[in-house]
Amino acid sequence: MKYALMTTLEPGDTLDHYRLDATVARSGMSTLYKATDLRDGKSVAIKVPHEEMEADPVLVERFKREQEIGLELDHPGVVKTYEDGPGSRLYMAMEWVEGRLLRAILNEERKLPIDRAVNLTLQICDALDTMHKHGVVHRDLKPENVMVDDTDRIKLIDFGIAKKEDARRLTIVEVTKTLGTPDYISPEQVKGQRGDQRSDIYSLGAMLYEMLAGDPPYTGSNPLAVMNERLLHDPEPVRKRRREVSPEIEEILKRALAREPRNRYQTASEMAWELEHPEMVGVEDTARPTVVGGLKLPAARKLAIYAGLVLAPILIFVLMVLLAKK
């Protein structure tokens, strides 16, 4: 179906059976309104793409895919999308969620109580687990896309660059607009790869780190510097910024933020299990790592290494003496 291009909508305008009450947010691709469904008086959120987006078939496809993903997912931690039938223009109707963005909470409080940060993370893990089982990867997890209500229940919002595993890859033009957010994007996404559910786990690890430390794991003078840092260095241990964080939580963060996807949690449920059972998390002794060939080795292997370094010259000397006698 083709949609006629329309001028920008303003609060007070009517869009089919919705009255637009207020502009909530504007992004580079769309505007979000709070609206009233005139059929039953219920508050809803209406997401309307900008005119230039409606003129781009690739971006229209992206918007429709977001709508399909929202209709498919049914989880209390994911914002609901309503089936509404063809309208007078391209838009999406979703449930209206009361609360505050996690970003607003972090801006106000910086560091959250540890129990609260873990609780919010567990809820996000639960929502991600359902998404991933449906073959959906969010790809842009960040505090701006998590709504928190008065009882600390979360909802994931904005699936604008989410992907389905069975969906065809979009063009490079579209990809350049959907790289994710520098503070939370995974290393593989920085390298231009599509990313999978482990990319979401990396982003969630970065969010948990920020909830505990008060800042994201990597900072820099510009987005490129931030992204480059995560390709080259491990983040500063969170316990250096906040001593009351347990070694077990530190280890969970280390696993979630591993640069190589194969070294991370493979599923959100794995990460949730360890957050719920920290006593079962093995903690490596990384206080004074031994560095051999660029690899950090745990203390249990130090003695063998030192012994080898001492014994090797002795063994070589003995062998030379024996050969000389022959």
Catalogue the active-site residues.
140
3-state DSSP call for residue 292?
A: strand
Contact 58, 83 (CB under 8 A): no
Give the 3-state secondary structure of residue 188.
helix
Contact (CB, 8 A) for 212 and 117: yes
Half-sphere exposure at residue 9, Cβ-oriented, CA atoms within 13 angstroms: 31
What letter does residue 124 receive in the DSSP assignment? H
| 175 CB-contact burial (10 Å; exposed 0-12 / middle 13-18 / buried 19+) | middle
Tokens of 254: 């280390």
203 with 141: CB under 8 angstroms?
A: yes
C-alpha–C-alpha distance, residues 101 and 97, integer Å: 10
What 8-state DSSP symbol labels residue 78? B
147 neighbors 97 (Cβ within 8 angstroms) = yes
Nearest to 66 by CA among 129, 187, 156, 4: 156
What does the alpha-carbon distance between residue 296 and residue 203 come to, in Å, rounded to a whole number? 25
Half-sphere exposure of 200 toward its Cβ, with a 13 Å CA cutoff? 28
